[in-house]
């Protein structure tokens, strides 16, 4: 039966073709059919592999849809038929496949989204090289840029991802035994795409990507189940940074630890202490962050009162296995203020390993003595202050009773010192208690008559009163001073956090792209919240919609979060996960203001881009009207005049005149046809609708067709038949060459032929290419104008109005670039201009497109070939799927 909600997606992920993704998918299909599941085959390609083809037997298949494109028939999955059949499960192979132009969706993964939305479970396959985020990495490994990709988010959202793994040696054996390709293709495949290094690197990519997804699930599970302990499923090293000079040493040491474990993750965290972080420098933190990121790590800033607690909380939150901190920079006497971060972290780390790294700044001092904390001292300091304030005077009295000769003034000074100590340790109220208890003990034990609460001498009454007043005053002054110092230190921490944030924003993309998401990540880490979202609405009664999100389960309305801060009249920064103290709202307000600035910057950038596109469109329309005002009207006027003359009843034309008039009509029609074709081609290029059908092509078969519009004596062709085939769309290449040749003939003096010469270009370490040179002996083009002549509606120099609208070269370059080729202009030695057309050559023998078939002149046109309009694109010559 079909689910009433959204369907579930299961993906078999592989590192390379032939590892058994489709086989595993079909085996799972038979298991489900055996359990009584309603399952159909939407689209499965077996690539002529017998064992895979056998598994298709016994499974219900929805007939494919036949489509016609450029005179050829192709087959695709019939999405409407699958939706009408409404099975419980559908098999859809090759998730990254590009559909034939004219299909309802451009990509097969979009078809899968429709099936899932209809409540149909889908089982699919994809190779690691087709993930969009890994395009650059795969290109570095294989030297080939992938054209068929699927967004990572589509695969991440899958309910199940199963890795189909095989060692490179086993896969090469399968290939050598003929289980992947036909025998005549095996040697080419083993020598190209299936090299051991390529397969090992792609396998590592697949394993690491899958491990990341497993780690995401593990983190989500730990949060949902409230698990606080560390599960050492993966090495994750956290470096504690204070902003001091030892930071670079710690980062490099941690990077070496991470490098010893494959898949290890390096992170660094700075705890911006609200009581002031001794020795911290925003500039040092920015430099250390740059170093960390260059070593592949990530930097995090967290606001916390206790650096040790903040570091441990962060480490446990990210499921860290190791912590790296530096040995203390304190001098021996500074340990009077506490045991230090290193001792506390080591003592309380539990099952997290702690590395204490020595450095040259150890024991050289913090640069300043830590400020005593009075506000938010914590339970230990508060209890200690009350013990000093209440029990301290009693214990001091017991000691002084054995030294009766000290005298009352000295006793008072000692009790006053105890009161000051209670103020320093516990704050105002323990100090007041110490003053009151101390004055009482002084009166009872040391002011004559002793052991009574009466005082016989008036000066002693005054002394006890002054002691009590001074004790309370000293406690108040110490408390106020410490409070002011605490506030200043918190302001310093906030300024430091904002400084690091500003450095992050300045080092971001110039366009602002992605900065909002980075800002929200910083907010979430700084304030220890589960998620942060920037919401926007245009008017008061409009619904809210998210501009940027960080973290899971973001609030959809300001009322749904624990904290909401307005960021302008239409924006609201909303946090979920915990309430924030009032002291943190000011810093959060600064983040909200920064978010509003970034949102406005992105909006302005979007509007500016739209304005540029509109201005470019207006420029092209204006240039088009100006250009065609003569070039379109002139041939029309000539045709009309010739037709009118031929139809005139009062004039009798002889055969020669009539032939001349008909020739004029034909010439004018040809000019109109050429102009309109160029205009249509330029329109296709401007709108990005050019879809080349790339396949192996012989250059010597295309060039003769491109010469159809020029006299035979105007050109001389030197295109050897021994040239390798090229990856190209024959139709687009013919149009491109025709425009270039026509332009060269137009500017070459009469009687001087244009030379068309082709050569193979083979350079070590680079893919082979074929260069076609169109050499004329015309006036040439200055170097500074060579790029300008390829712009639409540009005519160089004093070219006459009838010379065309200036689209030929623009169309020629646009078509060449659509085929992964280039068109450049060079000087002709001795005078003139040479147009150089460079196109990728077929490296025979080689491995082909995403269906796993090698490219070559004898390549068979299977259904899978025709289904993909880019089936033999040069970027996919080593990209089987």
- What backbone phi and psi angles, to 5 degrees, belong to 14? -130, 160
Nearest to 441, CA basis, from 418, 472, 473, 475: 418
Locate all alpha helices (DSSP H) within 43-120, ordered by sequence.
Answer: 50-56, 79-85, 108-117
pLDDT in tens, 287-343: 888 888 888 888 887 777 678 888 888 888 777 889 998 887 776 665 555 567 888
pLDDT in tens, 205-244: 888 788 777 766 766 666 666 665 555 556 889 998 887 7
Judged by DSSP in three states, 549 sits in strand
Structure tokens at 749: 């003096």
Q: Residue 120: what pLDDT?
A: 92
867 contacts 76 by C-beta, under 8 angstroms: yes
Q: How many CB atoms lie within 10 A of CB 221?
A: 11
Residues paired with residue 538 on neighbouring β-strands, in sequence order: none
Mean pLDDT, residues 275-285 taken together: 59
Please determine, for residue 373, whether its predicted confidence score (pLDDT) is greater than 60: no
Residue 544: pLDDT band (50, 70, 90) is: confident
254-285 exposure pattern, b = at least 16 Cβ within 10 A, e = fewer: bbebbeeeeebbbbbbbbbbbbbbbbbbbebb
Mean pLDDT, residues 240-260 taken together: 85
**Strand blocks (E) in 611-753:** 695-697, 715-718, 726-728
Q: Residue 872: what pLDDT?
A: 33
Please determine, for residue 366, whether its predicted confidence score (pLDDT) is greater than 80: no
Q: Residue 874: what pLDDT?
A: 34
Q: How far apart are CA 627 and CA 350, in angstroms?
A: 78
pLDDT in tens, 312-325: 888 887 778 899 98
Nearest to 240, CA basis, from 384, 352, 338, 401: 352
Question: Would you give the end-to-end CA distance of the chain in angstroms?
Answer: 32
Q: Which residues contact 662 (CB under 8 A, 6 or more apart)?
A: 642, 646
Q: How far apart are CA 866 and CA 872, in angstroms?
A: 10
Q: Give me the chain's average pLDDT, please.
A: 75
pLDDT: which is higher, 662 or 71: 662
Q: Residue 40: what pLDDT?
A: 93
Residue 90: pLDDT band (50, 70, 90) is: very high
Please determine, for residue 386, whether its predicted confidence score (pLDDT) is greater than 80: yes
Residue 621: pLDDT band (50, 70, 90) is: low
Mean pLDDT, residues 542-554 taken together: 84
Q: Residue 123: what pLDDT?
A: 94
Q: Residue 440: what pLDDT?
A: 78
Residue 651: pLDDT band (50, 70, 90) is: confident
Q: Residue 586: what pLDDT?
A: 64
463 contacts 407 by C-beta, under 8 angstroms: no
How is residue 405 annotated by DSSP?
Answer: G
Please determine, for residue 450, whether its predicted confidence score (pLDDT) is greater than 80: no
Token pair 């489709």 in the structure block, residue: 22
Q: Residue 871: what pLDDT?
A: 31
Please determine, for residue 276, whether its predicted confidence score (pLDDT) is greater than 50: no
Q: How far apart are CA 487 and CA 276, in angstroms?
A: 9
**Lowest model confidence (mean pLDDT) among 34-48, 216-230, 564-578, 744-758:** 216-230
Q: How far apart are CA 427 and CA 382, in angstroms?
A: 8
182's torsion region: left (phi>0), alpha (psi -120 to 50) or beta? beta
114 contacts 79 by C-beta, under 8 angstroms: yes
Structure tokens at 414: 């000692």
Structure tokens at 428: 């105002």
Q: How far apart are CA 2 and CA 117, in angstroms?
A: 11
Residue 866: pLDDT band (50, 70, 90) is: very low
Mean pLDDT, residues 682-697 taken together: 68
pLDDT in tens, 766-808: 788 899 999 998 888 888 777 777 776 555 544 444 444 455 6
pLDDT in tens, 477-530: 766 776 666 666 666 666 666 666 566 555 554 444 467 787 888 788 777 788
Mean pLDDT, residues 418-445 taken together: 77
Q: How many CB atoms lie within 10 A of CB 119?
A: 16
Residue 115: pLDDT band (50, 70, 90) is: very high
109 contacts 143 by C-beta, under 8 angstroms: no
Q: State yes or no: cis peptide before 845, omega within 30 of 0.
A: yes
How is residue 645 annotated by DSSP?
Answer: H
**Burial of residue 848 (number of CB atoms within 10 Å: 0-12, 13-18, 19+):** buried
**Lowest model confidence (mean pLDDT) among 164-168, 173-177, 618-622:** 618-622
118 contacts 104 by C-beta, under 8 angstroms: no
- What secondary structure, in 3-state letters, does 239-286 show? EEECCCCCHHHHHHHHHHHHHCCCCCEEEEEEEEECCCCCCCCHHHHH
pLDDT in tens, 399-410: 877 766 567 677
Q: Which residues contact 231 (CB under 8 A, 6 or more apart)?
A: 218, 222, 319
Q: Residue 578: what pLDDT?
A: 76
Signed CA dihedral, 205, 210, 211, 212: sign only: positive
Q: Which residues contact 542 (CB under 8 A, 6 or more apart)?
A: none
pLDDT: which is higher, 556 or 865: 556
With the CA atoms of 452, 457, 458 and 461 taken in that order, what torsion angle do they form, in degrees rounded to the nearest 10?
-30
Opening angle at CA 296, ends 291 and 299, nearest 5: 65
pLDDT in tens, 813-834: 877 888 888 999 888 888 888 9
Q: Residue 144: what pLDDT?
A: 66
Please determine, for residue 88, whether its predicted confidence score (pLDDT) is greater than 90: yes
Q: How far apart are CA 496 and CA 158, in angstroms?
A: 41
Please determine, for residue 675, whether its predicted confidence score (pLDDT) is greater than 90: no
Q: Residue 870: what pLDDT?
A: 38
pLDDT: which is higher, 14 or 566: 14
Please determine, for residue 83, whether its predicted confidence score (pLDDT) is greater than 80: yes
Q: Which residues contact 828 (CB under 8 A, 6 or more apart)?
A: 775, 776, 777, 780, 834
State how far the alpha carbon of 128 is from the alpha carbons of 207, 214, 244, 630, in Å: 9, 16, 42, 55
Percent of the chain at pLDDT > 70 equals: 71
- What backbone phi and psi angles, to 5 degrees, belong to 186? -65, -45
Please determine, for residue 705, whether its predicted confidence score (pLDDT) is greater than 70: yes
Structure tokens at 48: 């002529």
Q: Residue 860: what pLDDT?
A: 30
Signed CA dihedral, 131, 133, 137, 139: sign only: positive
Q: Residue 4: what pLDDT?
A: 56
Q: How far apart are CA 837 and CA 825, in angstroms?
A: 9
pLDDT: which is higher, 624 or 123: 123
Residue 850: pLDDT band (50, 70, 90) is: very low
- DSSP string computed for 809-872: HHHHHHHHHHTT-EEEEEEPTTSSEEEEEEEEBP-SS---STTSPPPSTT----HHHHH-TTTT
Q: Residue 628: what pLDDT?
A: 57
Structure tokens at 492: 């310093």
pLDDT: which is higher, 640 or 470: 640
């Amino acid at each position: 039966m079909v689910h009433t909600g959204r369907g579930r997606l299961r993906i078999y992920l592989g590192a390379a073709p032939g590892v058994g993704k489709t086989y595993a998918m079909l085996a799972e299909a038979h298991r489900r059919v055996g359990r009584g599941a309603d399952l159909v085959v939407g689209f499965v390609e077996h690539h002529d592999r017998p064992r895979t083809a056998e598994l298709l037997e016994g499974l219900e298949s929805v007939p494919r849809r036949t489509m016609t494109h450029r005179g050829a028939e192709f087959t695709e999955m019939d999405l409407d038929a699958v939706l009408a059949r409404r099975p419980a499960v559908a098999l859809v192979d090759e998730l990254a496949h590009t559909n034939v132009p004219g299909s309802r969706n451009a990509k097969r993964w979009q078809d899968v989204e429709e099936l899932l939305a209809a409540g149909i479970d889908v089982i699919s396959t994809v190779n690691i090289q087709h993930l969009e985020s890994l395009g650059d990495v795969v290109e570095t490994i294989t030297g080939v840029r992938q054209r068929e990709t699927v967004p990572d988010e589509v695969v991440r959202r899958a309910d199940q991802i199963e890795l189909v793994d095989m060692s490179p040696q086993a896969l090469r054996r399968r290939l050598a035994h003929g289980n992947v390709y036909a025998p005549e293709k095996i040697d080419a495949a083993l020598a190209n795409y299936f090299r051991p290094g390529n397969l090992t690197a792609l396998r590592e990519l697949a394993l690491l990507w899958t491990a990341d997804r497993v780690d995401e699930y593990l983190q989500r599970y730990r949060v949902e189940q409230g698990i606080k302990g560390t599960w050492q499923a993966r090495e994750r090293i956290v470096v504690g940074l204070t902003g001091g000079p030892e930071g670079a040493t710690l980062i490099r040491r941690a990077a070496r630890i991470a490098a010893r474990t494959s898949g290890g993750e390096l992170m660094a965290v700075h705890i911006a202490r609200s009581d002031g972080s001794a020795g911290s420098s925003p500039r040092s933190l920015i430099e250390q962050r740059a170093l960390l990121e260059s070593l592949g790590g990530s930097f995090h800033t967290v606001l916390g009162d206790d650096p040790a607690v903040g570091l441990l909380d962060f480490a446990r939150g990210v499921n860290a296995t190791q912590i790296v901190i530096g040995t203390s920079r304190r001098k021996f006497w500074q340990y009077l203020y506490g045991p230090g971060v290193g001792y506390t972290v080591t003592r309380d780390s539990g099952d997290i390993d702690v590395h204490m790294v020595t450095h040259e700044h150890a024991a050289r001092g913090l640069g300043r003595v830590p400020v005593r904390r009075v506000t938010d001292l914590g339970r230990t300091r508060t209890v200690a202050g009350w013990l000093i304030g209440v029990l301290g005077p009693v214990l001091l009295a017991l000691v002084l009773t054995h030294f009766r000769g000290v005298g009352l003034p000295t006793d008072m000074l000692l009790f006053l010192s105890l009161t000051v100590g209670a103020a320093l340790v516990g704050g105002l109220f323990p100090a007041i208690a110490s003053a009151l208890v101390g004055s009482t003990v002084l009166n009872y034990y040391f002011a004559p008559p002793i052991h009574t609460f009466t005082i016989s001498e008036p000066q002693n009454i005054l002394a006890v009163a002054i002691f009590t007043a001074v004790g309370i005053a000293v406690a108040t002054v110490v408390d106020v001073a410490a409070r002011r110092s605490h506030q200043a230190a918190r302001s310093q921490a906030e300024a430091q956090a904002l400084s690091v944030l500003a450095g992050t924003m300045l080092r971001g993309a110039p366009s602002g792209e992605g900065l909002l998401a980075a800002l929200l990540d910083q907010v979430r880490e700084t304030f220890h919240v589960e998620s942060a979202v920037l919401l926007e609405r245009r008017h008061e009664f409009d619904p809210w919609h998210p501009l940027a999100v960080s973290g899971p389960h973001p609030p959809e309305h300001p009322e749904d979060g624990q904290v909401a801060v307005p960021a302008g009249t239409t924006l609201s920064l909303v946090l979920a996960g915990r309430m924030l103290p009032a002291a943190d709202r000011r810093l959060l307000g600064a983040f909200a203001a920064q978010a509003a600035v970034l949102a406005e910057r992105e909006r302005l950038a979007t509007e500016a881009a739209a304005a540029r596109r509109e201005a470019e469109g207006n420029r092209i329309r204006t240039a088009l009207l100006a250009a065609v005002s003569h070039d379109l009207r002139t041939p029309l006027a000539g045709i009309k005049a010739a037709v009118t003359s031929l139809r005139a009843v009062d004039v009798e034309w002889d055969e020669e005149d009539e032939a001349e008039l008909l020739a004029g009509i034909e010439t004018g029609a040809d000019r109109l046809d050429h102009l309109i074709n160029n205009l249509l081609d330029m329109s296709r290029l401007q709108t990005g609708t050019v879809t080349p059908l790339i396949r192996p092509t012989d250059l010597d078969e295309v060039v003769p067709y491109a010469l159809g519009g020029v006299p035979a004596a105007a050109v001389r062709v030197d295109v050897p038949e021994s040239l390798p085939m090229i990856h190209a769309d024959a139709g687009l290449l013919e149009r491109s060459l025709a425009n270039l040749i026509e332009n060269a003939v137009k500017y070459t003096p009469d009687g001087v032929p244009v030379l068309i010469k082709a050569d193979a270009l083979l350079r070590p370490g680079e893919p082979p290419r074929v260069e076609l040179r169109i050499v004329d002996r015309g006036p040439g083009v200055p170097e500074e104008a060579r790029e300008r002549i390829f712009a639409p509606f540009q005519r160089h120099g004093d070219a006459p109005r009838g010379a065309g609208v200036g689209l030929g070269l623009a169309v020629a370059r646009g078509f060449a670039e659509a085929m992964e080729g280039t068109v450049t202009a060079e000087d002709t030695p001795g005078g003139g201009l040479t147009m150089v057309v460079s196109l990728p050559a077929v490296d025979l023998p080689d491995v082909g497109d995403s269906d796993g078939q090698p490219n070559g002149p004898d390549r068979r046109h299977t259904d899978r070939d025709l289904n993909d309009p880019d089936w033999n694109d040069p970027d996919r010559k080593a990209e089987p799927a």
